[in-house]
Amino acid sequence: MRWCGVLLVVVASFLVTGGALLASKFPTRESTTKRFLRADNPGSYSFKGINRVNGDFEEDSASTDNLEERAGGVGILEKIKTLKAFKSISRGVAKATNSFSEKISQALPIKSKLQVWSNNGKSVSFVRKELGMDGLDSARLTLAKNFKFYDDYVTSQLPLWANKQLTPREVASKLSFRGLSGAVRSNPNFKYYDEYLVQQALVWAKKDADVDKILVRLGLNLVPAAERSQAVNNKYYDEFVAGLLRTWKEKDVPVTEVMTKLKLDQLTGEALLPHPNYKYYKNYVKNNLKAWATKGDSLDDVAVRLGLDNLQGKRLEAHPNFVFLEKYWTKRGKYQENGWLKQGMTSQSATYEAYEKYVNLIDDHIIRLHKRGFQDDQLPRLISKDATADELREKTIIWIKMKRPEWYVKFSLGLDGLGENALKEAHNFQFYKYYIDSTNAVKHTI
């Protein structure tokens, strides 16, 4: 192995020399480029002093003399010739360096090989073959002894592709996909495609990119709206728009502006509801309704935010946002209650006082209806089946404090009509038990 040291010294000196020669040619190129960029009138350059003879170019001596005068004499021409020769040598050295580095990489550790291959721009398929994993299916690929190196290599290429702003189709080509049908998800390289586009979706959202342009970039503009949800790239459009909605919510972008950004502002009725972007808009408006309810905004305030001010009668009802105004009217109390609970209120907070007042108002109304002869199946059940544990716990505490009757607590928790065994197995039994235990404890202390 004594020859290894000598070989490495030779390689190092050769690479350093090649690198120095390569580095020296960039300032020349840059200087040449700048000269062309500084030209005030590129159209003034003429080829009339050049004649074509048998397919080659022959210079007119007068034109040559003028060139020498304008360029500063023969010395400049000699420098130009020298420069051409130098560039030719540089290109030769670059090719030799790449060729030599590829050959010597065969004797390097795998990690070093990965770096050489990356520097030389080797393809994913080339690396996979060199690592002895060509032809392996997904299951066998991940079990291969060199898979970690392959995984590291492809992952290291993702930011390079992002810097080059490669399109999804270009990335798919680099990963050797044969189309983007649903079957591509089982391709062992799909995870890299997925990681690349998830990150790109975040970048697009941060830049507030136009939704139609992203549709085209993902190739979804060619997919019928009804089939778009099945397309491979639809996931990344979803990620992109979700990122947009978060950004718009943080910036408090008006719902009317969001409707325009989602290309819905010119649609009404039957054309609006089936549009693929309507679900995103609906979600954005609904989240705003909840926030407005939590703050206690009036119906008039919400109508203005929905762009419904100054509209009346059929014009009001025909507006796409009228349905959200109706929802706010019917759901405002529930939205407000949930909003208070999410704020993590305590019995000492000002929000809790408003919440307690709201709960008691509803409880009093239902108990009055019961006293007037309404049966349980005729009474409104205002606690949702999806009510959170926090909501039920807070209401149970209020029921105990207000000494609500046992039938009402059972009714409100959806436990009325259950036998003893079914009652104990019910999901909300813990809150009923807490009510009973607390009520009994108070009785024993009196």
Residue type, 313: G
Residue 3: count other Cβ atoms within 10 Å of its Cβ. Answer: 7
Q: Is residue 187 part of a domain?
A: yes
423, with CB counted inside 10 A (0-12, 13-18, 19+), is middle
Q: What residues contact 391, with CB distance under 8 A and at least 6 apart?
A: 337, 338, 341, 383
Question: What's the total number of domains in the chain?
Answer: 2
DSSP letter (8 states) at residue 263: T
Per the listing, tokens 């309810």 go with 293
Q: Is residue 231 part of a domain?
A: yes
Q: Is residue 13 part of a domain?
A: no
Last residue within a domain, chosen from 241, 268, 291? 241
Round to whole Å and give the CA distance between 243 and 160: 23
Q: Is residue 272 part of a domain?
A: no
CB 423 within 8 A of CB 402: no
Enter the tokens of residue 435: 């009510």
CA dihedral 80, 82, 83, 84 (to 10 degrees): 90
Q: Is residue 105 part of a domain?
A: no
Q: What H or E segment, with its residue span, contains residue 389?
A: helix 389-402
CB 249 within 8 A of CB 278: no
Q: Please spell the DSSP secondary structure of 322-367, one letter per residue.
A: HHHHHHHHHHHHHHHHHHHHHTT--TTSHHHHHHHHHHHHHHHHHH
Q: Is residue 264 part of a domain?
A: no
Q: Is residue 200 part of a domain?
A: yes
359, with CB counted inside 10 A (0-12, 13-18, 19+), is buried
Q: Can you say how many angstroms the Cα of residue 235 is from the centroid of all Cα atoms in its chain?
A: 9
In order along its 446 residues, the chain shows pLDDT tens digits of 444 444 444 444 444 444 443 444 434 344 334 333 333 443 333 333 434 344 443 444 444 444 344 444 455 555 555 656 555 555 655 555 555 445 555 546 888 888 888 888 899 899 989 999 888 777 788 888 888 999 999 999 999 999 999 999 999 999 988 777 878 888 889 999 999 999 999 999 999 999 999 999 999 999 998 899 999 999 999 999 999 999 999 999 999 999 999 999 999 878 899 999 999 999 999 999 999 998 888 889 999 999 999 888 889 989 999 999 999 988 888 888 778 777 666 666 667 777 788 888 889 989 999 999 998 888 888 787 778 888 888 899 999 999 999 999 999 999 998 999 999 999 999 999 999 988 887 665 55
Q: Is residue 65 part of a domain?
A: no
Last residue within a domain, chosen from 194, 213, 241? 241
Convert 43-67 to b/e letters by CB count within 10 Å (16 or more is b).
eeeeeeeeeeeeeeeeeeeeeeeee
In sign, the C-alpha dihedral spanning 331, 336, 339, 341 is: negative
Enter the tokens of residue 122: 């080797």
- Residue-range definition of the domain harbouring residue 205: 165-241
Round to whole Å and give the CA distance between 426 and 139: 45
pLDDT score, position 29: 41
Residue type, 103: K
What number of residues does the chain have? Answer: 446
Closest CA to 434 of 404, 396, 408: 396
Q: What residues contact 313, with CB distance under 8 A and at least 6 apart?
A: none
Q: What H or E segment, with its residue span, contains residue 406?
A: helix 406-412
Last residue within a domain, chosen from 217, 241, 265? 241
Enter the tokens of residue 76: 């400049």
